[in-house]
Amino acid sequence: MGNLVWYEWAHYLGLTSAAYALWAGFWGLFFRKFFWDMIGGTLGPAGIIPGPGSALFVAVIVQVPLVQILTMILSVVILMLELPPLKSMKESFVYRNFMFKASLYFGLAFLSVLFYQGINAAIYSLVTIFAYTGAQLKGEMMPEQKANKGRGKGSEA
Amino acid sequence: MAKEPTGFEGWVKREFLTPSRAIFNFLWYGTQLFVFAYGWYSQETNVRLAALNGLKWSVWVSRGAGLVLALDGFMILVPMLRNIIKVVRPKLSWLFPADENIWFHRQVAYSMAFWAMVHTTAHYVNFINVERTQVRQEAAWQIHYEQAGGITGHVMLLIMVLMYTTAHHKVRAQCFEVFWYTHHLAFFFMIGLYSHATGCFVRDSVDPDYISTFPFYSTEHCLGYMSWRYTIWPGILYFGERMYREFRARRATQLDKVLVHPSGAMELRIIKKSFKYTAGQWLFIQVPEVSRYQWHPFTITSAPEDPYVSVHIRQVGDWTQALGERLGAGPNVVAQMTKAALKASEKDEKMQMGMPTRGDFVEVDETMNSRGLPVVRIDGPFGAPAEDVFESEVAVLVGAGIGVTPFASILKHIWYRQRRGNLGALRRVEFIWVCRDASIFGWFQSLLQEIEAAQTDPNFLRINIYITQKVSEDTLYNIAVNDAGAAYDPLTLLRSRTMFGRPDWPSIFSNLRMALEGGQYLPGRESTLKTRIGTYYCGPSAIAKALKSATSAQNTKSLKFTFAKEHF
């Protein structure tokens, strides 16, 4: 029963995930930590001493907060996509293509699962992907996509 | 209609320049800031927690926000204690708007989301610093995912994400069921809230001081707020209410009759001896055969004096359509009946009991339905401000669109009391019905007809109907031809004339005030005594705002205009 519009729900989930990731990335700049450093690491007098397997991640998270910065950039991109400030963005395919959005959330989950503050953002992103996939499987279309039918530019062949 | 300012200006006007809202904001947010400050202070100055205080501001923030969250966790369930609110409402309606309970529930939820953000952020800093300073011999991930506080916290956050996103008004409107079922995660959320501190994170000992008896940690060394001792009570009360609701719903209930009105509305007449209600209230109905667990809210359309409880259901959603199918009056049947009824009314507006009608309702009988009538359960009733109608001298009842339904019960009830000569303070009733297209509510029209015809005092009840839909030219001519000199209005078949367009609220109420002051409206009114003019409204909130400002603008020394809005 019920007629859940999946992309609508996914939209709110996505806003939550991206906002969380943005906030997490911001705090990650100041408290830098590779979340999975306990694997192969040992607990020393000043916290976990990462094992040799974590060296690469420590380099891009602790030495340079690259992952956190990328997470923040990606979350801003996603937020702009979910709440397009420009009309031209609203008309472009990225706004209405669910699987494209899902792939962005996959990227967000991949980045945010790496650093200490981002774990929940990764989990919420996975829920968002689940919801967008649901929208895709049910064949839902956003009103912009419906309006676009028959006047696409791909008809010159 | 006075235009409400929007944007920032509107926000300031709404939140700060409306006295009642300003007081609420001051008390509500002021209390939260105070509790936050107290939580901060009590942590920072606690010498037994000196080790934790080594973490500095992050631990003070997390403890302050944690105490506010305890307050919010307490308050979040309070507005949902429907049965208790129903009891205290008449006594406390001057103090707080008990009918705004869902609104308050939302405000608590917003606060909760904000403080959860503060609390979580601070704890992420706390735990990483615990790991770095080794004030306790553990890693951050262990506090997050191995200890009660961390686990329940993360679970509660995930539940909040699911509950908040599905409670968005758009999702709720599209699919109430998803909202309804997801919101029951609140059970696990509350369990998480009550057990959040059982890990004994706030302590003055090196290791958690667990004991073998309830609550399984010793209060000698675990120095949390013990807030569960307070926050659990609304939870217990709410759980009790749900159990009571289940018990009450299981008491003998019988679906007596199903009537299908020509306009397509189904009227369910239910007999339940233990069900006591007053006019204008609503109930929850459940039909296990249609949906095992769903309860759907409907306005009661019968008067308390009627020997049955009735609700009118239009087949608009999937649940109501499934119910129609089950009752043997599915959309197809109704469509046929509506068509037949309309045809009949086109041929001859037959005169019945001296009144023109648009065909009669049809009772759904055994022949239409081999399975008999299904089992129904009802729960309620739940409150509505229209119970206070009899306390004012003049009642202005305004129904817009579907919001007209509670007035069926109220008007019937007024009519019964009028016959018994027991009207309380009530001297006159103005009924205003605003809708796009009156024909959808055919059943309501026929009810109005009966009430209008039964009036002995021509001045007691005045019916004003406003049709806001654009009227086509054909209809316009049709009305013009039929209206002139006819005893009944051609559209509504009432004696009262239909008006077209939106009602001009300020002028309606200023006319009413002038008529009252002139003395011809309520003859014998003592101008030294206060006369109460109660406006009761049900419908979309845009009109509510306009009505509210229109009514309050007319207050004078001897005339008191009040306004109340009903919610669904």
Percent of chain B scoring above 70 in pLDDT = 82
Query: Given phi > 0 = left and psi -120 to 50 = alpha, else beta, which region is B454?
Result: alpha
Q: Can you name the residues that pair with B286 across neighbouring β-strands?
A: B377
* Mean pLDDT score, B347-374: 55
B521 near B488, Cβ under 8 Å? no
H-helix or E-strand spanning residue B183:
helix B176-183
Can you tell me the distance from the alpha carbon of B388 to that of B342, in angstroms, rounded to the nearest whole number? 38
Least confident interval from B132-146, B369-383, B433-447: B433-447
CB pairs under 8 A between A and B: 81
B313-329: per-residue pLDDT in tens? 877 777 888 888 888 77
Give strand pairing partners of B400: B434
* Residue A102 covered by a domain: yes
B176 neighbourhood in chain A, CB within 8 Å: 2
pLDDT of residue B480: 67
Q: Is B316 on the interface with A (CB under 8 A)?
A: no
Cα–Cα distance list, B523 to A19, B162, B516 (Å): 64, 59, 9
**Burial grade of A69 (CB within 10 A; 0-12, 13-18, 19 or more):** middle
The more confidently predicted of residues B27 and B381 is B27
Please tell me the least confidently modeled range out of B245-249, B262-266, B420-424, B561-565: B262-266
In a domain? residue A119: yes
Q: B132 at the A interface (CB within 8 A)? A: yes
Whether A17 is in a domain gets the answer: no
Whether A15 is in a domain gets the answer no
Put simply, the answer to whether A27 touches B178 (Cβ < 8 Å) is no
pLDDT band at B563 (very low <50, low <70, confident <90, very high): confident
Domain presence at residue A124: yes
What pLDDT score does A142 carry? 83
For residue B316, the SS3 value is coil
pLDDT, greater one: B166 or B364: B166
Q: Do A4 and B168 make contact, defined as CB atoms within 8 angstroms?
A: no
Quick one: B161 exposed, middle or buried, by C-beta within 10 A (0-12, 13-18, 19+)?
buried
A47/B131 touch (CB, cutoff 8 Å), yes or no: yes
Which residues, other chains included, contact B73 with Cβ-Cβ below 8 Å and sequence gap of 6+?
B112, B190, B193, B227, B231
How far, in whole angstroms, is CA B186 from its chain's centroid?
19
The string of DSSP codes covering B119-146 is: HHHHHHHHHHHHHHHTSSS--HHHHHHH
Q: In the predicted model, is pLDDT for residue B30 greater than 90?
A: yes
Find the closest chain A residue to B159 by CA distance: A124
Task: Indicate whether B56 pLDDT > 50.
Answer: yes
Establish if A157 belongs to a structural domain: no
pLDDT, residue A10, reads 95
Is it the case that residue B280 has pLDDT exceeding 90? no
Contacts of B159 (CB under 8 A, 6+ apart): B185, B186, B188, B189, B192
Which segments in chain A show pLDDT lower than 50?
A: 1, 153-157
Residues in CB range of B404: below 8 A, 6 or more apart: B433, B435, B441, B444, B538, B539
Q: What angle do CA B190, B195, B198 make, to 5 degrees?
A: 170
For A8, the closest of B121, B171, B291 (CB atoms) is B171
Amino acid, single-letter form, for residue B564: A
Q: pLDDT tens, B423-450? A: 777 888 888 888 876 566 667 777 777 7
- Domain carrying residue A75: 22-41+49-141
Return the ∠ at Cα B387 (arms to B445 and B248), rounded to 5°. Answer: 95
pLDDT for B202 equals 85
Residue in B405, B389, B530, B553 with CA at minimum distance from that of residue B461? B389
pLDDT, averaged across chain B: 81
Which is more confident, B177 or B133? B133
Contacts of A39 by beta carbon, 8 Å cutoff, 6+ apart: A51, A53, A54
Q: Cβ B125–A27 below 8 Å, yes or no?
A: yes
pLDDT digits (tens, 9 = 90+) for B486-531: 666 655 556 666 777 788 888 888 888 888 887 777 776 666 677 8
Chain B environment of A27 (Cβ under 8 Å): 121, 124-125
> Percent of chain B at pLDDT above 90?
23
SS3 B281: coil
- DSSP for B80-116, written as a single string: G-HHHHHHHHHHHTTTS-GGGHHHHHHHHHHHHHHHH
With beta carbons less than 8 A apart as the criterion, state whether A59 and A37 touch.
no
B232 close to A (CB below 8 A): no
Task: Name the more confident of B340 and B405.
Answer: B405
| pLDDT at residue B354 in the model | 42
The pLDDT confidence band at residue B281, using thresholds 50, 70 and 90, is confident
Number of domains within chain A? 1
Domains, chain B: 7-247 (no CATH), 254-382 (2.40.30.10), 385-566 (3.40.50.80)
Question: Tokens 């101008």 correspond to what residue?
Answer: B527
Region for B435 from its dihedrals, namely left if φ exceeds 0, alpha if ψ lies in -120 to 50, beta otherwise: beta
- Rounded to whole angstroms, how far apart are CA atoms B330 and B321? 6
Residue B2, pLDDT score: 44
pLDDT for position B241: 92
Query: Which pLDDT value is given to residue A155?
Result: 41
Of B35-49, B221-235, B421-435, the least confident: B421-435
Joined together, the tokens standing for residue B180 give: 């309804």
**Would residue A146 count as lying in a domain?**
no
Structure confidence at residue B356 (pLDDT): 45
Assess whether pLDDT exceeds 90 at residue B246.
Answer: no
Task: Report d(CA B191, CA B209) in Å as an integer.
Answer: 22
Place of tokens 């939140």: B15
For residue B119, name the pLDDT band (cuts at 50, 70, 90).
very high
Q: Is residue A156 part of a domain?
A: no
